[in-house]
Amino acid sequence: MIKKRILFTLFVLSLILSIASILNLGKVYSRSSIFSKFLFASTTIGFYTFIRKMDKQPELMPATSLRQEEKKEGNNQQKVYFDDVAGLDEVKDDLKEIADFIKNPEKYDKMGAKIPKGIMFHGPPGTGKTLIASAISGETEAGFIYASGSEFVEKYVGVGASRIRSLFEKAKKQAPCVIFIDEMDAIGVSRSSDNNSERDQTLNQLLVELDGFNRYDNVIVIGATNRLELLDEALLRPGRFDRHIYIGNPNVKSREEILKVHLRNKPLDKKVNIKDIARKTHGMSGAHLANIVNEAAIFAVRENLATIGPEQFNLAIERVVAGLKNKNAVISEKERKIVAYHESGHALVGRVLNNDLIEKISIVPHGQALGFVLNASSEDKFLITKKELCEKIQTLLAGRAAEEIIFNEISTGAQNDLTKATEIAHQMVCEYGMSSLGNRTFSNNNLSGYGNFINKEVNSIIESCYQESKKIILKNIDFLHSISSRLLLEETITGKELEKILKVS
């Protein structure tokens, strides 16, 4: 405000000086006077435009990155629908209900049903989180406001909080409306982790806003983060961002669908095999695939071709892969096979021992992991038997066991499994009295000279579990092969599909 006043005073001053200099005309007709008139006039115009510009600044004027600006502009210009988001069928099903609520709030009201106010998307970058959020607004014809957490992080205390306030005011005026806040971690990191009073105020204001609006406001807030585990618990509590939806990298089938979406309206050579491109782009995100299609089109233009051919795709893939190689995001065919057998080992032994219900087996990279087996969360258990703990260790070691059996070689891929298995074995010896050292505990501070014995016991538990795990795999080796080859083909297998494989083979 003060800045504005000073500028205004300067503007008036320069205006007076300009008029004075113009009135001076005819007295001394020198070069310098023409120059000074020109200078005064241009300063006046300059000030005038600057002040106009300041007045026109939007309520939220952050220093956003180019990509964010693009997202904002893109969202204003062009509507996105669920059909533009390929794959992610389960996520879409989930969100269709939210979309229905935005369109027909009375229907839910009559039943006394509450729809979540806040949804948190999490997962790796470029997987379509922003895209699917704007599709909700497209489908429901609700407004869409894109904001990024980083816009609220300012040097001056209170600025972020006031921007949050105006964001929600704007959304309520525009209701029905979807607010999408990308990079939630910029404001939402756990408040205890460091001392940043500006960010704390911003986060507190966000919590106040979330608590303050109700279902009659018809505003849905969607947050997105690559690191859910960093967020403050207060933010994820019921009534706030209480629905968490994981959006991961696409499997081969979804990659094919994403490629098709981006190839719509592009002249394509008949020889191009989309399935083949999908297979070659293991581990890539939707954003990478969109990039590949665009690069291929550019190559075709450069070569003056009428259509995009397989050669252009190969060049485009090479270019994107080269960019990724530095980040270790692309794995070789051999590594893919090792990962497939490793994960199949976990799934097979877990299934035979029946310790957890398997929801999904995947060789699509997920954070640091090259593959994973997702267990359906079973009921909480308060007591675990010694046998169950041993079976847990057997399942954890089954990845390495499968690698050894199939490739006669072991890899670094089992590091995390070994850490977990060692931890359980250690607890069995030191905390649960489940070893030949007797029904007693050992604390770290008081090993009473038992250190070596403890290590021996831990080793012996792990070794016997490893041998047991190998036995189970060898006995069911055909199943191991069938699960792995299916994984190599489809990249993800659901629990139901696993049952089918086990029945058929």
Ligand X SMILES: Nc1ncnc2c1ncn2[C@@H]1O[C@H](COP(=O)(O)OP(=O)(O)OP(=O)(O)O)[C@@H](O)[C@H]1O
Closer residue to ligand X in complex, CB, 88/187: 88
Closer residue to Zn ion in complex, CB, 176/399: 399
Tell me, what DSSP letter sits at residue 184?
T
Answer yes or no: are the C-beta atoms of 231 and 193 closer than 8 Å: no
CB of 343 to Zn ion, least distance (A): 7
256 binds, among Zn ion, ligand X, none (CB under 5 to 8 A by kind): none
CB of 129 to ligand X, least distance (A): 3
Closer residue to ligand X in complex, CB, 126/413: 126
By CB under 5 A, tell whether 404 contacts Zn ion: no
Among positions 154, 403, 417, 468, the unique one binding Zn ion when judged by CB under 5 A: 417
CB of 414 to Zn ion, least distance (A): 6
Answer yes or no: are the C-beta atoms of 360 and 493 closer than 8 Å: yes
Tell me, what DSSP letter sits at residue 223?
E
Integer angstrom CA distances of residue 67 from 72, 293, 316, 380, 488 = 9, 18, 21, 43, 35
CB of 498 to Zn ion, least distance (A): 16
126 binds, among ligand X, Zn ion, none (CB under 5 to 8 A by kind): ligand X
370 binds, among Zn ion, ligand X, none (CB under 5 to 8 A by kind): none
Burial class (CB in 10 A: 0-12, 13-18, 19+), 250: buried
Q: Which two tokens stand for residue 446?
A: 């008081």
128 binds, among Zn ion, ligand X, none (CB under 5 to 8 A by kind): ligand X
Known binding residues? 123-130, 342, 346, 417
Whose CA is closest to 498, among 376, 409, 320?
376
3-state secondary structure of 362: strand
Residues in contact with ligand X by CB under 6 A are: 85-88, 125-131, 182, 224, 226, 258, 261, 286-287, 290
Which residues are CB-neighbours of 391 under 8 A, at least 6 positions away?
Answer: 353, 355
By CB under 5 A, tell whether 399 contacts Zn ion: yes
DSSP E strands: which ranges in 381-448?
A: none
Whose CA is closest to 261, among 284, 290, 281?
290
Distance CA 63, CA 310 (A): 41
CB of 450 to ligand X, least distance (A): 49
86 binds, among ligand X, Zn ion, none (CB under 5 to 8 A by kind): ligand X
Whose tokens are 């191009």? That residue is 272
Known binding residues for Zn(2+)? 342, 346, 417
Stretch that binds Zn ion, among 56-64, 264-272, 391-399, 460-468 (CB under 5 A): 391-399
DSSP E strands: which ranges in 226-378?
A: 241-246, 358-362, 372-375
417 binds, among Zn ion, ligand X, none (CB under 5 to 8 A by kind): Zn ion
Closer residue to ligand X in complex, CB, 226/476: 226
Closer residue to ligand X in complex, CB, 250/350: 250
Distance CA 266, CA 101 (A): 36
By CB under 5 A, tell whether 365 contacts Zn ion: no
- CA–chain centroid gap for 110, Å, is 35
Distance CA 56, CA 366 (A): 44
CB of 290 to ligand X, least distance (A): 4
Of 151, 198, 343, 491, which residue is the catalytic one? 343
Q: Which residue is closest to ligand X by CB?
A: 286
Distance CA 292, CA 288 (A): 6
Based on the residue annotation, tell me whether 154 is a catalytic residue of this protein: no
Interface residues toward Zn ion, by CB under 5 A: 399, 417
Catalytic residues: 343
